[in-house]
A and B are shown apart, each in its own frame.
Chain A
Amino acid sequence: MGELASGHPNVVAPDGTLAAAAPADTHFLRIEKLVKEFDGLVAVDNVSLDICKGEIFALLGSSGCGKSTLLRMLAGFEMPTSGRIFLDGKDIAALPPYIRPINMMFQSYALFPHLTVWDNVAFGLKRDGLPKDQIAERVEKMLGLVQLKPYAKRKPHQLSGGQQQRVALARSLAKRPQLMLLDEPLGALDKKLRERTQLELVNIIESVGVTCVMVTHDQEEAMTMASRIAIMSEGRILQVGAPHEVYETPSCRFVADFIGNVNLFEGKLTEDASDHVVIETPECTHYVGHGITGTEGMAVSVAIRPEKIRITQQPPSDLARPACNWVKGEVVDLAYLGSYTVYHLKLATGMILKATVASVERLPDWQPTWGDSVFASWDEYAMVVLTQ
């Protein structure tokens, strides 16, 4: 899913004119050592981030991890306890929300119920004191962008959830903000509509070229829409990276477990070479085909994604080291999910190993079923060694 989202820099400005594709400005939004405490409780704990111009950046975490507080500090609804926020070189941490060149799309959309769609979109422009004809022109353009021109005279309650979401988008883009904030942009839509809207939303944002910071608890949404993701837990940022980076090379146990499914083996580093390492766990010996920074004897975890595990009837014969990277287990659970099948294997130690087999790989002559004794194996590059 990650490849659907592209972080292409902007080329078209909101008014449709061609804007020069700016060189990747890595310090467009700079968050420095930001801290927010509520009555002694730390909601955001010393967060530093650099966000590039034109990118869609996602803050991903479960509820209560501080991602919304961080977003509200960017919008100006919360004042940081300490730390600084720079937007295009200017410190904005102390500015009230109505002065910041930042607009937010709210989770509940927060459309003004007493105003029509047209007036909702025009609201921010009127506050800026723009001439009437310019406002009208800009509103028309925005409504065209989100394909809501025929609905201009309707009130919010006369619109469907998807249409309301598009009005909210048009309204927050109308002022041509330097930075747009999205708070769970698709959280209020049902699942089917959400999938359709994700890419639509990315297309509109990229056609306008605005820099975005979005908050979500849905990893699929973050991976589909964002060019980079920051994973947050307990007010801290654990890892920042492109979707494939945080999935393929998680930096710690929490990230590995939070993004997707993972099997974690706990063990000890027994052999440490520059081109390979060996890790001894109660389940099996792991031979990893690359070096890590660690010392012999240290406690580490080995993370393996379920889709990287092969299930065979016979012991595997094509491994780099015949004694490593395979276990024997009994199928205790299986779920056929259409495009793939999930197997739960019970190992001798009692650990449950999750493995997925894509439907194209399912062998016609042999399919493991409940109670079968099978072999699970993986190659020496399938693992990630986690030291924290």
Chain B
Amino acid sequence: MSTGRVNWFGRGWLAAGYVFLYIPIFLLIVLSFNQSRQDVIWTGFTLNWYRELLVDKEIIDGFILSLKIAFLTGLLSVVLGTFAAFTLVKYSRFFGRTAFVGMVNAPLVMPEVIIGLSLLLLMVSLQNTETFSWISRGMFTILIGHALVGMAYATVVVQSRLQEMDRSIEEAAMDLGCRPRQVFFLVTLPNITQALMSAFLLTFTLSLDDVVISQLLSGPGSSTMPIVIFSRARLGLDPRVNAVATLTILVVTIGVIASSIYLARLERRRQKEMSAAFSADAA
């Protein structure tokens, strides 16, 4: 602010933005320590709800199931997404490419309810056939639903990384004696690990957070954490849900802050090394 005057209008808007973003979360955290079971009125501090969490089998089971599904979704999405992205970047022309692009991107724009519903219909019809009668709705079907959406996101992330990568390093690898498969594993893959990690984290989070698809594809005894929270919230306010949410926020916040500090350090070091290296030519 070169004029020295404070721009109160701008500051006001900024404050309003922060309030809008953080008041609900702040409220949730505060209420997780509230003594009152039913009310949003503060009656006193307690850690009771956190203690109760430890013995709440439904929430703990849901949490473990969610983690399992999210982890597997991440893996599956990254593997399938990488293959899809590699195909799209490497081969600019093949039969059915347009249809392939459309199908890969469809889950990004399709409402989740419709994806979930169509998958549910597919599973039910498969269950009625002889060969696939072993399918039962539960972890497996939820995983398929999540991987379907996750793969689309992973494809986008990996594809953009592959596109910005210098393709000549792959030619150089081939020139130095790599067969196409070795090129992929020895050169392409090591150079897109960061994109693979972000794709994994993204799809992991999407899966952990999903209610709609999980709800439609879950069976008896396979409630993920969001389903548990959702069903409890429908029965009225539950401070234990607030406690779960607070813990989740804590973990996410620590994760995000730690990773951004780490990445910023890495980048700073890289810049320093590069500028140091370039002064060598001048010498």
Q: Contact: A104 with B172, CB < 8 Å?
A: yes
The reply to whether the CB of A375 lies closer than 8 angstroms to some CB of chain B is no
Given contacts A112-B172, A113-B191, A114-B191, contact A193 B177 (CB under 8 A): no
Given contacts A97-B175, A124-B177, A127-B182, contact A160 B169 (CB under 8 A): no
Residues of A within 8 A of B273 (CB): 157-158
Q: Contact: B270 with A157, CB < 8 Å?
A: yes
Q: Tell me the complex Cα distance, A124–B280, Å.
A: 27
B positions within 8 Å CB-CB of A? 166, 168-169, 171-179, 182, 187, 190-191, 270, 273-274, 276-281
**Cβ contacts A139-173/B at 8 Å (1 or 0 each):** 00000000000000010011111110000000110
Q: Tell me the complex Cα distance, A171–B177, Å.
A: 12
CB distance from B33 to the nearest CB of A (A): 47
Among B171, B175, B190, B270, max chain A CB count under 10 A is at B175
Residues of B within 8 A of A110 (CB): 166, 168-169, 171-172
The reply to whether the CB of A258 lies closer than 8 angstroms to some CB of chain B is no
Given contacts A98-B174, A158-B273, A163-B280, contact A106 B179 (CB under 8 A): no
Q: Tell me the complex Cα distance, A127–B183, Å.
A: 11
Residues of B within 8 A of A138 (CB): none
Interface SS of chain A: helix, strand, loop or mixed?
loop
Nearest residue (CB) in B for A183 is B168
Q: Tell me the complex Cα distance, A128–B175, Å.
A: 12
The reply to whether the CB of A176 lies closer than 8 angstroms to some CB of chain B is no
Residues of A within 8 A of B279 (CB): 160
Nearest residue (CB) in B for A100 is B175
Q: Tell me the complex Cα distance, A157–B274, Å.
A: 6
Q: Tell me the complex Cα distance, A110–B187, Å.
A: 11
Q: Contact: A75 with B175, CB < 8 Å?
A: yes
Among B191, B276, B280, max chain A CB count under 10 A is at B280
Q: Tell me the complex Cα distance, A76–B166, Å.
A: 19
Residues of A within 8 A of B178 (CB): 98, 127
Residues of A within 8 A of B187 (CB): 112
Q: Tell me the complex Cα distance, A172–B171, Å.
A: 13
Partner of B176, one of A113, A154, A163, A175: A175
Partner of B175, one of A103, A107, A108, A160: A103
Q: Tell me the complex Cα distance, A102–B278, Å.
A: 31
Q: Contact: B276 with A158, CB < 8 Å?
A: yes
